[in-house]
Structures are given as structure tokens and as C-alpha cells.
Amino acid sequence: MKIPGHAAATGASRRWQGEGPWAWLSAAAVALSLLMLGALLVLLATRGLGHFWPADLHQLRLADGQRLIGVPVETRQLPDDSGYERRYFTANRDHQGGIWTWVAEDAIEQDRTPNDLIVLQRGRWGAFFGRLVAVVTETERFGGDRAWQALRQRLDHLEELRQQSESLRRDHILPLIRQMERMKEHSRLSEQLTELEQQALTLQRAMTGTVLVLETADGKRFEQPLESVLDAWHPNSMGSVEKLAHWSRGVWQFLSEGPRDANAAGGVWPAIFGTVLMVMLMSLLVTPFGVLAAVYLNEVAHQGRLTRWVRIGVRNLAGVPSIVYGVFGLGVFVYGIGGSLDRLFYADTLPSPTFGTGGLLWASLTLALLTLPVVIVATEEGLARIPLHQREGALALGATHFETLTRVVLPMATPAMLTGVILAVARAAGEVAPLMLVGVAKLAPQVPVDGEFPFLHLERKFMHLGYHIYDAAFHSNDVQAALPLVYATALLLVLVILVLNLTAIFLRHYLRLRHGVPVRR
Amino acid sequence: MEFAREKASLDIQGLTLSYAGKPALKDLTLRIPRNKVTAFIGPSGCGKSTLLRSLNRLHDLNEDVTREGSIHLEGHDIHDPRVSVAELRRRVGMVFQAPNPFPMSIYENVAFGLRLQGRMSKRRIDDVVEWALKSAALWDEVKGRLRASAWSLSGGQQQRLVIARTLAVEPEVLLLDEPASALDPISTLKIEELIRTLKPHLTLVLVTHNMQQAARVSDYTAYLHNGELVEYGPTDTLFTHPRLRRTENYITGRMVG
């Protein structure tokens, strides 16, 4: 029977009716946490992803006759309350010295968005805002309307040449150089190298020769060699679809390319790759160790005072600050083990170290050590949760302890182990401090996996998203300019951890289904 | 005296068992006849489960347990160092109070014990699984979904699955530790029927709290109290003409110390 007036009351509110404010307090706590999480993601997403949106360029004429082209970034009140001033991103570092200009709103006489303004993305000096006057090749000059078309065409061609040159360097020249470092006999290789370098030079030359004639806001003209231009667009005449396409390409380049300009521009692909690879290696190292240790503590060892102390020790290891693990990794792995490895196997390349310096392997090992307690504790809890009658059931069928462990207990504890790995991944992927001691690099554009034997280069330094954030935010020439990339990288780090975790969670879900264990809700 | 002439499957002589120094079983001597159902009854904590678990050396797991006296299975001492515990437990199967199927498919549960014994052809395993499920009167209910999780079965079905799993390794003795106490009356009835049909093939030892159940299914009954064997004899005699006053009090429900 339906009682009138009660239909709207949901389960929770009805259950808690007349029991004071606890229901509301707890709900408010949840809401607040969710709100903070949401705010964090929104901040990172808008600040980070907005950076790639091709914003309209404004051409201003000020009261004092000054002209400038820029993108408004923020507005603030003047100190004497007489009005507002606006900050414009005006680019052109090579012509104005700075890239930001503060303009009082009252001083703006004219504010237009003409269609012929262009943005150039350049290898050095950052972006350029202004007009394209002409494209001059060795034989021809394209002026007026033909200039833009010529520029686009040549940019595409340039991009092709760049890729050829890059693959030549990465796939042929660098491996050859490394080979020469290892070998004594050089003459044949150095011939090869000279030939390859000749090819690279030819490619380089093919890129040069074309010059852009550009005009800045104040009418100054100058020439810009085309080979230093990476991309060009004219935001004011782009439709929303075009802008969206441009934005997607920007995001894709951010994800797929290496950094430029001392990490203040360009992409973060090596950092993504380094982070994921390092976390995966870490999981591969920590899981077997952690599980074996937990099995010993819970299944094999005599449960006495010693195991109790070991347990307390393991749990307390989880609370040791991560930088301490970094120091340990530096002392033991890098200088200790790495140094010995170098003396034993890489003596011919000394004093330049191979394993005796920070690298992927040592970083993964250090983080494995850092997350070991998490895996041990989670696995132990999982093992302890397996009911005694399950073990007895297997033993009563004539299974040995080992068979009981491998066929009944461990499969049932797998979800718990994966929980441990999930926690470990979440902790390790965000850890930066110890990495700075044991192998992260500010710039290592070559990912540690390539087609050269042994394919996975454990001794190489690698880039990491967390460290990249730190580096871009504190060590770039212009922190203001790098800030959007810092936000975008932070968002990416969150997403990478999310993806890694989701993978493990789905795996756990699948295992639970397969072993028939009901999913806990 | 028919009882005295029964061939013993298990022969327990002077068995004393202590948990951390406290005796749980005191100098028990009894013979459990072959191909019969023997029930252990008694109040909680009287040691009947302890006795049952010592028959397949499940106490070996607990380091605090000390033992005196001997148990012989078909004339061989089960504590002989040459005896493999795993082999003993295969010969003396056990079904526990709460159904404990493994988190695998129905088929894999029954095949579990077989796979422990080494490689066996798929055909052979298929045959044994079907035979065991039929023996446990479960085949008709699960034959269409052998690959389904064992945990999808009802409690009574799970308990019969556990029995099938035990039967699959062809034990000589089957220990049942209150096998129906967690089940509804109909499932209980099915288990009891099963016990009767299994009797010609193996020796059954049943621990139960339920006096009627002991009376219904067992041939012989042992009444234990405080770790001592108070009275042991044919079930009919014990329930109708108990020799001792203490036994009578217990089976009629008058508990006096």
C-alpha cells in the first residue's frame, strides 16, 4: 500500500529521520570532497586545455598612438580604483623583449579583430602575432593573397622534410654513434657515419632558402626564415569547426611530440611514455616480491613474536618519506650495484657510467621498494580473509599445503593482490622526489624503448610527467607562459594514473567474476 | 552380538588429545565398523568434532595439539611416519558443517581432487565427474551448467557438490561434520537419503547435534561427554535402552551436567 506523503522520501532520509544532523553532516563531508575533486579537475582542464584553443587576435590602438596585437588574458582593477587594466599576451619576444603587455581599458581607442592577422609557432622565440606580407623563395616572391597559400604549402613540405631528418637521426645516426662507442674498430663505421651526416646535411639544406616577410603591429617589417616556423594559422578568420580541428591537433601534438624551448613549449610524449613504462616495470618488480613476502608472513612463518615485529616493521616502512627511498636508491642501487656492474661489464666505457648513474631500472626498483609495504599489507589482508574452511576443504581432499596455496588460496586472494598493486601504482605514478635522485631527466627526448637491441634500455634516463611539471613550473624562462602547459601536464598525470588504475580495476573485476567471488558492493 | 562381529574400518585405541595442554579427548577406545554409519552425539564441546578431525589428521595443522594413543585404518597406523598425510586424507574424505565449494566451476570443483593425483585424460575426468555427481544425487540438477560457478548453487546443492567432490577421489571413509546443520529441512532430508545410499560403498562417520538425525540414519551411535566416551552401541539399543542414566538424560533432553 502506498502511504501518501511518503512517496518522495528516499531510503536514506527515511532511515535517518529524527536521528539528528549526522546524516546531513556525513553527506556534506562527501559533497565537499567531491566538490574539491571536481574543482581540481575543472581548474586543470580549463587552464590546461584552453591553452590549445586558437583564441582571436585583437588589434588595439591606444590613446598614445601605440598599436599592439594580442590575446586578452586577465583583467584587474587599477590600484587607485580609477578603472580596470587588461593583460594581453602579445608574443613577439624577439621584437618587444617581453610577451605580456598591460593596457588600461580607458586607454584603448580602437579594438578590432581583422581577418588577416596570423599566428606563427616558431622553434625559437615562441609565437609571433602580426601580418604576413610576402613569402620569398630563391626564385619567386608571393605577395598579397597568394602569400598565405604559399606559406601553407611550404609548411607542409617542411614538415615532411623534418620528419625524414628526424627519423634519419633517430633510427640511423644515433644507433651508429652508440655502436661506435662500444666498439674499438671504427674506420668502416665512421665512413658510414660521414655518409649519413652528409644525407642529413642535404635534408637540412633543402629546408632553407625560403623567407617570410612579416609585419608587426606597429608596422615594422622583418624577415623570418621559414625553416624556424613550425606552424601558422589565422585565428580570426577560422570558423568554430576549424578552430576545433586546430585545437584537437594542438592537443594531439601535446600528447605525441617531444618538448621544445627548454620544456616551456611543445609536447610531453617522452614523459608520458617514461611515466607509464616506469610504473609498469615497478609493478612487475613489486608484485612477485610483495606477494611472496605476504605468503611467507601469512602462510609459512610460525606466527609468533618475530612475525609480529616484522609486520609492524613492514607497515611502518609505508610511512617512510619517499625522498629517503630516493637516497637509499642512490646509495645502494646507483652507486653500489650500478657502480659494480659498470666495473664488471662496462669497464671499457668508464669513466662514463652505464648503470652507475640514475636510470629507468634503478628508478623502478626504488619505487618498487617504496610500494612494497602496500602490496604486502594488501595481500596479507586478502590471504587472512580466505576462510579456514576453504583451506581445510582442499587439505581434506588430499592436497598438500603448497597445492592448497596455489590452487585455492592464491586465486582467491588475487583480487586483494590487485588492490595492492592499484594502491602501489597510484602512489608510484605520482612520486617525484625519489626519482630526482635515481634517474629522471629534464630532457630525454628518446624514449627508453626502440628498435635497437636490447629494445628496452633499462640504463637510460627517462622523462616523467611529475618531474616535467616541476621543471616547467620552476625552471623555464617564463613561468607565466609555461603555466598552461603545467596545468595540462598535471591533468595528463591525473588521467594517466586513472587509466593505469582502471586497467587494474577491470582486471580485478574480471578475476572476481572468473573465480566466482561475488563482487563486493 | 552382531556389533562385536563387525569388521572394523577404523580402530581407535586409547586416544588422548590435548589443546595446549588441556585434554579434549580422554583415552577413547572404539572401533568404527566398515560400510556402516556411525554417529557421534553429545553436547557442544564434548569433543565429537575433535575426534572426527583426528581421523584424517586435520589436527596436524595446529601445532598446539598433542596426541597419545593410536588410530588404525584398515589395520595400518595412520600416524606411521611412512604414511603420506595427503594420501590418508584422500582415503578418509571429509565434509564440513558449512558448504565450502571452491571458487571455481561446478565441474572444476569435482575434478579438483582428481587433478591433484596427476595427469588424467579429459575423458576419464569427465566420466568421474559425472559418476561423482550422480552418486551425490546432484547430476540431474546441474548437468546443464557444469561450467557455472559453484557458488551459484543453493546451500543444499553446494553441500551435495562438496560430497560429490569428496566421492570423486574414491575415499574408503567419509567423515561428515554436522553436514546438514546449515541447511533447510528438505535439503537435510536429501543429505540423509544420500547417506543411506552411500552406505554400501564406504564407511560413514557422522557428527550431529540432531538426535532424530542420528536415530534415522546411523547404525551405531557413540555418546561423548567432556571428551570421554560414555556409551557406544547399536543405535536402536542406545536410543531405546541406554545402559547409563547420563545417556538417557541426554537423548531425552534432560541435561544434567
Tell whether the model's pLDDT for residue A404 goes beyond 80. yes
Domains of chain B in start order, with CATH, are 2-101+171-252 (3.40.50.300)
Q: Which of A299, A397, A407, A514 has the highest number of chain B CBs within 10 A, making it the mutation to test binding with B?
A: A397
DSSP string spanning B112-165? HHHHHT----HHHHHHHHHHHHHHTT-HHHHGGGTTSBGGGS-HHHHHHHHHHH
The confidence score (pLDDT) of residue A519 equals 40
d(CA A177, nearest CA chain B) in Å: 55
Interatomic CA distance for residues A71 and A119, integer angstroms:
11
Residue of B58, B83, B112 to mutate when probing chain A, most A C-beta within 10 A: B112
CB contact under 8 A, B152 and A399: no
pLDDT above 90 coverage of chain A, percent: 19
Residues of chain A whose beta carbon is less than 8 angstroms from a beta carbon of chain B are: 302, 387, 389-390, 392-400, 403, 407-408, 411-412, 515-518
Nearest to B103 among A302, A395, A517 (CB): A517
Cross-chain Cβ contact B149/A411 below 8 Å:
no
Closest residue in chain B to residue A397, using alpha carbons only: B90
CB within 8 Å of A87: residues ≥ 6 apart? A72, A73, A74, A75, A76, A100, A101, A102, A103
A230-279 pLDDT, tens digit per residue, is: 888 888 888 899 999 999 998 998 888 888 766 667 788 888 998 989 99
A459-466 average pLDDT score: 86
Average model confidence (pLDDT) across chain A: 85
pLDDT on residue B256: 47
Please tell me chain A's helix, strand, coil percentages from 3-state DSSP, rounded to the nearest 5: 60, 15, 25
- Within 13 A of B247's CA, how many CA atoms are on the CB side? 21
Residue to test with chain A: of B58, B108, B115, B116, most A Cβ within 10 A: B116
How confident is the model over A148-161, as pLDDT tens digits? 888 888 888 888 88
Residue A13 binned pLDDT confidence (cut-offs 50, 70, 90)? low
Domain ranges in chain A are 269-514
- The mean pLDDT value for B148-162 works out to 88
Instruction: State mean pLDDT over A153-171.
Output: 86
Facing residue for B90 by CB, picked from A392, A397, A517: A397
| Confidence (pLDDT) at A6 | 47
Judged by a CB distance cut-off of 8 A, whether residue B94 touches chain A is yes
Q: How far is CA A182 from CA A95, A175, A191, A288, B237, in A?
A: 47, 11, 16, 34, 94
pLDDT digits (tens, 9 = 90+) for B213-245: 888 899 999 998 888 888 898 988 888 888 888
Confidence at residue A5, expressed as pLDDT on a 0 to 100 scale: 46
Average pLDDT value for residue range A98-121: 87
Rounded to an integer, the average pLDDT of B187-212 is 88
Higher pLDDT, B23 or A369: A369
DSSP codes, A43-61: HHHHHHHHTTS-PPPEEEE
Task: Give the bridge partners for B207, in sequence order.
Answer: B40, B177
Q: Look at A407 and B112 and tell me if their CB atoms are within 8 Å.
A: yes
Q: For residue A399, list chain B residues with Cβ-Cβ distance below 8 A.
A: 86, 112-113, 116
Residue of chain B whose alpha carbon sits nearest to that of A403: B116
End-to-end CA distance of chain B: 31
Burial of A110 (0-12, 13-18, 19+ CB in 10 A): exposed
Task: Quote the minimal CA–CA distance from B167 to chain A in Å.
Answer: 10
Q: Whose grid coordinates read 582428481?
A: B114
Phi, psi (rounded to 5 degrees) for A433: -50, -55
Closest residue in B to A414 (Cα) is B103
> Does the CB of B155 have a partner CB in chain A at under 8 Å?
no
What mean pLDDT do residues A383-399 have?
A: 88
Name the residue in chain A with its Cα closest to that of B151. Answer: A516
Instruction: Please tell me the predicted confidence (pLDDT) of residue B104.
Output: 85
Residues B149, A389: C-beta atoms closer than 8 Å? no
Instruction: Tell me, yes or no, if B62 comes closer than 8 A to chain A by beta carbon.
Output: no
pLDDT tens-digit readout, A270-322: 889 989 899 999 999 999 999 999 999 988 888 889 999 999 999 898 889 99
Interchain CB distance below 8 Å, B103 and A400: no
Complex ipTM > 0.90: no
Angstrom distance (rounded) from CA A119 to CA A126: 10
Check CB contact under 8 Å for A396 and B166. Answer: yes
Task: Quote the crossing angle between the two packed helices A240-256 and A269-295, to the nearest 10°.
Answer: 50
Determine the topology of domain A269-514 in CATH: MetI-like fold (1.10.3720)
Close Cβ partners of B198 (under 8 Å, ≥ 6 residues apart): B135, B167, B174, B204
DSSP B195-250: HHHHTTTSEEEEE-S-HHHHHHH-SEEEEEETTEEEEEEEHHHHHHS-SSHHHHHH
Query: Which residue in B85, B87, B102, B149 has the most chain A C-beta atoms within 10 A of its own C-beta, making it the best mutation to test that interface?
Result: B102
* Spatial contact of A465 and A486, defined as CB atoms under 8 Å apart: no
**Chain B contact set for A517 (CB, 8 A):** 103, 151
Secondary structure (DSSP) of A177-201? HHHHHH-S--HHHHHHHHHHHHHHH
